[in-house]
Amino acid sequence: MENDIERVLVDEEVILKRLDVMAKEVRKDFPGEVLVVVVLLKGALVFASDLLRRVPRMLEIECINVASYHGGTESSGTVNFLDHKLPDVKGRKVLLLDDILDTGRTLKAVKDRLIEEGATEVKTGVLLAKDKERAEAVEADYVGFFIADEFVVGYGLDYQGRYRNLPYVGVLKAEAQ
């Protein structure tokens, strides 16, 4: 698996240090409230797990399955909700977590949906945000790292379902794609 990586973009130590800072921001922004954290599967699994263990607040974790890539390296343009039932967020403050902000379609679609479902506030957090013009006018409230517009894997992010368990974020070799 490691042989398929051309270069490491953000190493594990740097990620975890940044999460310490992001966790403090979350703690400060939601003092005393029982938050609902909505984790977008599967990409945000690793990020959420490391971030939330740094937030010593009462919170509830929910997961939503969405698909926008269908296995390739380009966004398909549509966001599909794959669950029969979404978590109950009526009257709740929500922190929505995803692995990466790219075109913005996923974060926008899920955020709008949670507001439709009655969430009183939805803040968003991503480990990575690509520095580019977005198809949807959306930015995240908490961003780990801004990166160039290239396809990355690791620390939750996949290519065709693989590489999520790499402990760092890296760029795939062209021949591995």
Closest CA to 99 of 18, 19, 41: 41
**Which candidate in 50, 98, 99, 102 is catalytic?**
102
Between 35 and 147, CB nearer to ligand IMP: 147
Q: Check binding of 145 to ligand IMP (CB under 6 A).
A: no
Q: Check binding of 156 to Mg ion (CB under 5 A).
A: no
Return the beta strands (E) in the chain as ranges: 5-10, 35-41, 59-67, 80-81, 93-101, 121-130, 142-147, 152-153, 169-172
Contacting Mg ion within 39-98 (CB under 5 A): 43
Contacting ligand IMP within 8-27 (CB under 6 A): none
Q: How far is the CB of 150 from ligand IMP (least distance, A)?
A: 7
Q: How many residues make contact with Mg ion (CB under 5 A)?
A: 1
Contacting ligand IMP within 56-115 (CB under 6 A): 68-69, 75, 98-107
Between 43 and 87, CB nearer to Mg ion: 43
Q: How far is the CB of 153 from Mg ion (least distance, A)?
A: 10
**Strand pairing partners for 39?**
63, 97
Q: What is the dihedral of CA 120, 85, 49, 161, to 10 degrees?
A: -130
- d(Cα 154, Cα 144) in Å, to the nearest integer? 14
Pairing assessment for the beta strands 93-101 and 80-81 based on DSSP bridges:
unpaired
Q: How many CA atoms does the CB half-sphere of 60 hold within 13 Å?
A: 11
- d(Cα 60, Cα 57) in Å, to the nearest integer? 10
Between 30 and 47, CB nearer to ligand IMP: 47
Q: 102 catalytic, yes or no?
A: yes
Q: How far is the CB of 108 from ligand IMP (least distance, A)?
A: 8
Residue 124 binds: one of ligand IMP, Mg ion, none (C-beta under 5 to 8 A by kind): none
**Strand pairing partners for 64?**
40
Q: Check binding of 124 to ligand IMP (CB under 6 A).
A: no
Positions that interact with Mg ion (CB under 5 A): 43
